[in-house]
Structure 1
């Protein structure tokens, strides 16, 4: 009868720790790669969704996805922060009403859309071009108007022509013929429809993190 045999494995000093560190590094790289993949997909699909809703490239590029830790480090606790640098962007994700304080002043279709790279607003207009004054209309929303420089021919015909920032600056500067043109209309509130699907895109990619992790693990 064969007696009992006992076996014991003795690893060289530090071998177990080194093996664990090596495996930890592989797992960290796979986790970081999975998070990078998810963030890249979210940013690409989200920006396409914004442009598909009819918004500009500038608006689309304000949608960001930052992955942590930064600086090329890898961590099993990798995380992503999804955000938009345009503060009012979320209203297009949920839909809803925006209320004025006390009124919202919306640019009229004939007004310039921007001053430089900034969206036209009454405050920006006053700061960079000149004064505005109110036109109250009985039973109708009020208007904010400004002076625009016109030629003698335009004054004679009564046609103002295209409203440009340059001509508005000329009208604000004084001297020469000018005419009053409305630029903004005041409303109590505006109801906006849902236009974006960014949360759905983010959730769909978050649900695939396990798949992305497995794919990155195979590459190690």
Structure 2
């Protein structure tokens, strides 16, 4: 029976480990980065396929940590800049208190940088008039300025803020529906970002080996 013994010199083991640390960190970071790119590319395509705008697509972001540095513990943070985007991943039912007031196509989209809501309308333009319709959802109407014949100026399908402000200021006016009230709205799941992320995560081993230096 033969016995062998190796007496390592001080610091030799740590030097050996250090020599393979850098390529391992490089492969780990490259694998995480590539997986993140897959999620961003396929996720944005998924959002586009659901009919959402370029703004919604580009709001899906992937950050790799640590930034500008290779690490064996590299990680990816995947998130959407629009805070309520998750509702389109899970789906949900939103109920009003007691109603949800949704803007009609006739309503201006914004006042300044803020999205149009009944509260913003009342604050910025003037009162809204409630219209009850038996068997149908109620409406909230604004006052739009009219001409001398009592006719609304312009095309009512494109109600302008200036006409509403003139009507709200007491000028000759007529009512134009701006919001419809509903008890609840059901939002179905339309995104598959989680599934896309899981598929990319399952490929991390493959991506790590692909990026590992064979000469290390």
- 1:56 paired with 2:53, answer yes
Query: CA 1:136–1:49 in structure 2 vs 1: closer, same or farther (change >3 Å)?
Result: same
Query: CA 1:175–1:103 in structure 2 vs 1: closer, same or farther (change >3 Å)?
Result: closer
Partner of 1:80: 76
Q: Could you state the TM-score of these two structures normalised by the residue count of structure 2?
A: 0.83
Unaligned 5+ runs, structure 1: none
For residues 171 and 45 of structure 2, the distance between their equivalents in structure 1, rounded to whole angstroms, comes to: 48
Cα pair 2:146 2:174 within 8 Å, conserved: yes
Query: CA 1:85–1:34 in structure 2 vs 1: closer, same or farther (change >3 Å)?
Result: same
Task: Give 3-state SS (helix, strand or coil) of 1:147's partner.
Answer: strand
Q: Deviations over 1:54-108 (max 9, x none)?
A: 11122222222222223x1222222222222323322222233221122111111
For residues 152 and 59 of structure 2, the distance between their equivalents in structure 1, rounded to whole angstroms, comes to: 46
Cα pair 1:150 1:160 within 8 Å, conserved: no
Query: CA 1:59–1:154 in structure 2 vs 1: closer, same or farther (change >3 Å)?
Result: farther
Cα pair 2:147 2:153 within 8 Å, conserved: no
Deviation at 1:154, TM superposition (A): 6.5
Deviates more, 1:145-154 or 1:24-33: 145-154
Partner of 1:149: 145
- 1:19 paired with 2:16, answer yes
Task: Give 3-state SS (helix, strand or coil) of 2:72's partner.
Answer: coil
RMSD of aligned Cα (Å): 2.9
Partner of 2:85: 89
Deviation at 1:147, TM superposition (A): 1.6
Deviation at 1:184, TM superposition (A): 0.7
Deviation at 1:28, TM superposition (A): 1.7
Task: Give 3-state SS (helix, strand or coil) of 2:84's partner.
Answer: coil
Task: Give 3-state SS (helix, strand or coil) of 1:48's partner.
Answer: helix
- 1:134 paired with 2:130, answer yes
- 1:166 paired with 2:150, answer no
Query: CA 1:125–1:74 in structure 2 vs 1: closer, same or farther (change >3 Å)?
Result: farther
Unaligned 5+ runs, structure 2: none
Query: CA 1:5–1:192 in structure 2 vs 1: closer, same or farther (change >3 Å)?
Result: closer
Give the one of 158, 178, 184 matched to 2:179: 184
